[in-house]
Amino acid sequence: MFSESPTPGEQDRQGDLSFSALERRTFAIISHPDAGKTTLTEGLLHAAGAVHEAGEVKARGDRRRARSDWMKIEQQRGISVTSSVMTFQRGAILFNLLDTPGHQDFSEDTYRTLTAVDCAIMVIDAAKGIEPQTRKLFEVCRIRNVPIVTFVNKVDREGKSPFELLDEIAEVLQLDVSPQNWPTGIGGLFHGLYDLRRAQFLIADRRDGVVPGKWIDAGSIDDPAIGKAIPGDAAASLAEEGGLALASYPEFDREAFRAGDLTPVVFGSALRGFGIEQLLDILATDGPPPQPQPARPAPVSPDEPRLTGFVFKVQANMDPNHRDRVAFVRVCSGKLTRGMKVQNSRGGKALALHNPITFFARDRELAHGAVAGDIVGIPNHGTLRVGDTLTEKGDVTFTGLPDFAPEILRRVRLGDPLKVKQMRRGLADLAEEGVIRLFKPVIGSAWIVGVIGELQLDVLQTRLEQEYGAKLEFEPSPYEVARWVRSDDPAELKRLTETLRSNMAEDQDGVPVLLMRNAWEHGRFQQDWPAITFSAVRERS
Ligand code: GDP
C-alpha cells in the first residue's frame, strides 16, 4: 500500500545523515472553510521546494485517492476522511505540518490533532475576519497555550481594513497582536508589503494580475525608496497608517508569543505568494521547538533519551477486509527506529514497530527514524487506541489528551432487534477508540451518540455494519448540548443528579454527563448550579 521505492524526498533524507539533528517545528493550520488553508499549504510546500507547481498537492492527492482503496465514504463523497501529515525541510529546520480536516470532515480528530502540535498558524480571510470554526479551533489551542501565528489572507481582494482586523483578533481572542508586516492597503490599494523583520518592501506588481515583484531595501516604513517604486498615494498611506500601527500595537515579544499571549500577524495572499516566506521565517526563528509533554508521573522532556510517544488519532478502514488501522503517533522523546520494540502503557503489551510510516510532502514512506516532534504512522489491527502511550522503557503515561463534548447528538435505533448485542459492543468499542462519544441516559434504554461533525455519523454507520453486522439508524435527540459535570462538593453533585435525573447520563467510562435541550437551558442550569462545573472537555485518564 505504501511506496517502498525511493522518492526524491527519501533520497535526500537517506543522504543527509544530520537529518535527525534538524530542528523540528511541528504545527497545524487552523481556519474556517474557504479562508485559504489548502492554498496556504501548497504555498508553504512550494516555498520550501517540496512541490514544484502550485496545485500539485491537490493533483497528487487526487491521483492517490484514485489508486488506493480508502474507505467507501471517501470515494463516494470525493473527500478525505483522514487528516494527513506533511513533512518538509527548509534550511536547518524540518517542518511537520499536521492537517486539520475541515468542511464536512470536521471531526474530533480535527481537535485532537491540535494536541500533537507545538504551534499553529491561524488563517483569517481579510474580508470575513474571525469566523466560527476558527474560533472553536483557537479555543482548543488555548487549552494548551499553543502559540499562534496569524495569517491575514487575501489582501489582494477587497476586505476589512488592517486596523479593524487587528482589533477584532485582539478583542475576540483576547490576545495581544503584533503586526510583522503592513500592506499599502487592501484590494485595489494593495501595492505591496513593508516587512518589519527584514526592513524591506515587497512590491506587488499589478501589471498582469497581482504578483510579487522586487524586494527593495527600506530602513523605515516611510523610506523615500518606497515612494519611488509604487504610486505616491500608496506610499503616503503606507507611511501614515503603517507608522501609526507600529506605534500603537505591541512589539513582537518571543516569550509572550510562546506563552500563547501574543500573536504575530502577517498580512499576505496565499494565492499570489505574499507573506508565505515570512510565515516560515517566523516559525523558524521564533516558533517553539518540540515542547515537554504532560505525563504521569512527570512531564516528558524532548531531551530524554528513551523513546516515548502518544497516539492522537487512529485512521481506520484503510482496507475494511483486514481491519487495518494506522495509529498516528507524536514522538515526544528519544528516537524511533524501524523494528524496535515498544510497550503500550495501556495493558503493558509489547509491540514491534515493523513498518512505521513517515510522510514526506504528501508521499508516505517507510520510516527510517523519527525524533521528538515527528509524527509516525503505525499500522496495526486495532491494538492501538487514541490516547495510548508508547514507550521504550520505564513507566510513563501521557495525560491531557482530551475528549471534546460533541456538537451533534443522535438517539440510536437498531434496524434488526436481534442484533442488539452486536450493536452495543460496536458502539462501546468505537466510543473507546474515540470515534464517537456514547451516552447512556440514567432513565430509559435508548443510547445517545455524540459527534463533532456529521460525517462521523456516516463513519459510525458504515463501521457498525461492516465490522459488527449491525444496521444502525439515527433519530433526532431531544438534546443539543452535553457537558461533563463535576463539583468539589459531592453533596451538591448528588443533588444535581437527583433533581435533574431525566437529563443525566453516563459516558462510556461512567463519568456523569448532563444532557440539555439547547444553549439557553445550558445557560440557565449554569446559573442555577454555581457549585457545579459544566465542562466541554474531558481529559482522558
Ligand atoms: P480552504 O477551504 O481553507 O482550504 O480554502 P482554499 O485554499 O480552498 O481557498 C478557498 C478559495 O479562496 C479558493 O477559491 C482559493 O483560490 C481562494 N483563495 C485562497 N487564497 C487566496 C488569496 O490570497 N487571494 C484570493 N483572491 N483568493 C484566495
Distance (Å) from CA 34 to ligand 1 centroid: 6
Of 14-18, 54-58, 487-491, least confident by mean pLDDT is 14-18
More confident: 442 or 74: 442
Torsion sign across C-alpha atoms 298, 299, 303, 305:
positive
More confident: 292 or 538: 292
Encode pLDDT of 436-486 as tens digits.
999 999 998 889 999 998 888 988 998 899 889 999 899 999 999 999 999
**Cα gap 295→361, rounded to integer Å:** 30
**Cα gap 84→358, rounded to integer Å:** 10
383 assigned to a ligand binding site: no
pLDDT value at position 289? 96
Encode pLDDT of 293-348 as tens digits.
999 999 999 999 999 999 998 876 555 555 667 889 999 999 998 899 999 998 88
**Cα gap 195→67, rounded to integer Å:** 44
Of 18-27, 89-98, 514-523, least confident by mean pLDDT is 18-27
Nearest ligand 1 atom to alpha carbon 157: 26
pLDDT value at position 51? 62
pLDDT value at position 15? 37
CB 435 within 8 A of CB 456: yes
49 assigned to a ligand binding site: no
**Cα gap 429→138, rounded to integer Å:** 30
Residue 507 is placed in which grid cell?
459516558
The answer to whether residue 60 scores a pLDDT higher than 80 is: no
More confident: 102 or 457: 457
Q: Residue 22: pLDDT band by 50, 70, 90 thresholds?
A: confident
Nearest ligand 1 atom to alpha carbon 270: 23
37 assigned to a ligand binding site: yes
Residues with CB under 6 A from ligand 1: 31, 33-39, 153-154, 156-157, 269-272
- When pLDDT is averaged across residues 31-44 and rounded to a whole number, the result is 92
Query: Counting Cβ atoms within 10 Å, is residue 328 exposed (0-12), middle (13-18) or buried (19+)?
Result: buried
**Cα gap 355→325, rounded to integer Å:** 12
Length of the chain counted residue by residue: 541
Distance (Å) from CA 184 to ligand 1 centroid: 21
Mutational pocket test of ligand 1: of 29, 32, 34, the residue with most ligand atoms within 8 Å of the beta carbon? 34
pLDDT value at position 17? 38
Distance (Å) from CA 9 to ligand 1 centroid: 27
Which residues touch 57 (CB under 8 Å, ≥6 apart)? 38, 41, 42, 45, 51, 361, 362
What is the identity of the amino acid at 540? Answer: R
Q: What is the ipTM of this complex?
A: 0.99
440 assigned to a ligand binding site: no
Distance (Å) from CA 158 to ligand 1 centroid: 14
Give the count of beta carbons closer than 10 Å to the beta carbon of residue 504: 20
Q: What is the DSSP string of 47-97?
A: HTTSSSSTTHHHHHHHHHHHHS---HHHHHHTS--S--EEEEEETTEEEEE
- Name the percent of the chain lying above pLDDT 90: 62
User: Atom 2 in ligand 1: which residue has the minimum CA distance?
Assistant: 34
- Give this prediction's pTM: 0.87
The answer to whether residue 68 scores a pLDDT higher than 80 is: no
More confident: 443 or 1: 443
Of 152-166, 232-246, 379-393, least confident by mean pLDDT is 379-393
Kindly report the three-state secondary structure assignment for every residue of 175-203. CEEEECEEECCCHHHCCEEEECCCCEEEE
More confident: 360 or 172: 172
User: Atom 7 in ligand 1: which residue has the minimum CA distance?
Assistant: 36
